[in-house]
Amino acid sequence: MSTNKIFSAEMMDTLRKMIVATPQYFLMLSRRKQELLVDKIVQRMKGMYTVPFTEEEFHSLGIMAPFVVDEVFIQVDRSFFTQNLDYLKTLCYSSGKTELVARILQEPAVFGPVKNWNQATLSVVGRFLFFLPINILQEIPLPLMTMGRIEKLFMSHRQWEDGDVGILCSDMNERKALFEKQQFVLQFFLGFLKINSLSLTPIVPTCETLHTTSPAAWTSSSLSSMSSTAFSNCLELMGHDSFLASFQRSEVLKRVKKMYGPVSSFSPSVIAQLGEIATELSPEELSALRLEEQSSIASMGAVSTWNTRQLTALFTTVLNSTKLTPSRLDSNMFVALGHILCGAKTTEINTFNNVEFGKAVLWLGQLRLSCSEEQMLALVQLLTHSLAFGPMSSWTADVFIEIGVLAAGLPDIAMSALVKEQIEGITPMAISIIPPEKFAVAFSQSQISMFSYEQAVALTPQQVSALRSLQRTALAMVLAPWDGRPVITKDPTVRSLGQIHNPLCLILGLLMLLIVLF
């Protein structure tokens, strides 16, 4: 971003054309970088801050057009807007821009008040309907919002979401906010939200309807009232719906038990389909599962929302079901275990086969493991075996990329000795799960100044709160280098071993400390 400051107008225009031609790389940037980059490009485009935001200007920015500042976007040419909705619906919009699109849609010169919309309007508006605020959505004439119309709206958004732009566009918070709008549309217009709706027979979806909408958009009573065949056919779909609430999962689980009997009688096929629904099982129920087949183990291992007691129960259940000891687990089993790995005791982790664990680390390193600090330390120690990755001091950026989140388990003293080439390989996810106190002690301000923007932005509020003043200054410089804030690399009040990067100097420093103390 700071480099872009010195680009000539010609270079900036070349960059614009490159982004328009291959937009996927722009979409992979963070929101802040996207907005800053577009702002720099727009500043160099002659007359861009004059009104209106013309069709020619919009097309010249391509995928970047919705990222101009609000003052420019709101001036988009209305005739262009109404005549090119199919094109506009393919683009990516931040939460702020969705509000502007909603305002434009309701203008008299566009489609006017929502209460006056008709079937043709809804067809043209498509997925933009979910940009409208909930209080405005309620004004859509009830007869227009049939089950068929609702399904078409869901499908239009699903097709965009699974496309080249949609898959890279929104983060989880934006997806959740939009899902809540979808859920409201379905439940409001199908009558679920009426005061006396509980006394009525619930509308029961078919399995096909759940595929076109979303299981989580329906009420728990509707899901549990499905026919046995439809429920069975869509159990896996429900189990993999990340927006399914706890009370919905509980009701679905009751139906599963009614259909398939007690937990101890669940077949590997049923277990493999449960997904996040299984998180409603108690540790005692999880202990009763038969986790013999890797397919059912992998299904449980893919779930990231277990609590500590559930993880412990699951790991023990896997060992009991497969008749394996921790030392006999191979790479395939480690991959299948996934998040369940955090249910192993530290003493059990210490007995894992180093080589087999090393083979599985490329997969495990991509998971946001919820292991304790002690467990992570034990796991990363396994990788120092000569047949795995060897001593930590010899690890290159490639090794850190491969081990992913497991880098968070490095001992404090090893973290404090990391050099730029090694820091470059630490993944943002690994950065984000380092305990705040450990992060503040292990990383000096000079090391933090070596972070990439993606690494810096991954820090949690708790991690930032634990930093000292100079560490925060270094972080701020990485997050906003365009501010030109200097980074002070010497702290006159704090000198810690974490500021020494040369391993030899570190050893000498420790020896000097021992001499002073004794």
pLDDT tens for 351-393 read 999 999 999 999 999 999 999 999 999 999 999 999 899 999 9
DSSP 28: T
CA distances from 70 to 31, 133, 228 (A): 14, 18, 51
Dist CA 216 CA 244 (whole Å): 5
* Domain ranges within the chain, ordered by starting residue: 391-518
3-state SS string over 155-196? Answer: HHHHHHHCCCCHHHHCCHHHHHHHHHHHHHHHHHHCCCCCCC
Buried b (16+ CB within 10 A) or exposed e, 204-229: bbebebbbebbbbbbbbbbbbbbeee
Strand partners for 76: 53
Per the CB < 8 A criterion, the answer to whether 67 and 29 are in contact is no
DSSP assignment letter at 128: G
Q: Is 495 helix (H, G, I), strand (E, B) or coil?
A: coil
Amino acid, single-letter form, for residue 431: I
Distance CA 518, CA 229 (A): 76
Its pTM stands at 0.84
Residue with tokens 């209305």: 78
Count of CB atoms within 10 A of residue 513's CB? 11
Q: Which residue has the tokens 């991954």?
A: 458
Q: Going residue by residue through the chain, which has 518 residues, state the pLDDT in tens, using 9 for 90 and above.
A: 667 777 888 898 999 999 999 999 999 998 888 988 998 898 887 666 667 899 999 999 999 999 999 999 999 999 999 999 999 999 999 888 999 999 999 999 999 999 999 999 999 999 999 999 999 999 999 999 999 999 999 999 999 999 999 999 978 888 999 999 999 999 999 988 876 655 556 789 999 999 999 999 999 999 999 999 999 999 999 999 999 999 999 999 999 999 999 999 999 999 999 999 999 999 999 999 999 999 999 999 999 999 999 999 999 999 999 999 999 999 999 999 999 999 999 999 999 999 999 999 999 999 999 999 999 999 999 999 998 999 999 999 999 999 999 999 999 999 999 999 999 999 999 999 999 999 999 999 999 999 998 999 999 999 999 999 999 999 999 988 755 444 433 333 333 333 333 444 444 444 444 433 34
Q: How far is CA 159 from the centre of its chain?
A: 20
Cα–Cα distance measured from residue 202 to residue 182, given in angstroms and rounded to the nearest whole number: 19
CB distance 125 to 106 below 8 Å: no
- Can the peptide bond before residue 411 be classed as cis, meaning omega within 30 degrees of 0? no
Q: How far apart are the first and last CA of the chain?
A: 51
- At which residue do the structure tokens 């996927």 appear? 24
Could you read off the pLDDT of 332-341 as tens digits, one per residue?
999 999 999 9
Residue 298: partners with Cβ closer than 8 Å, 6 or more residues away: 272, 335, 336, 338
Q: How many CB atoms neighbour CB 196 within 10 A?
A: 7
Q: What is the DSSP string of 341-387?
A: GGGS-HHHHTTS-HHHHHHHHHHHTTS-----HHHHHHHHHHTTSTT
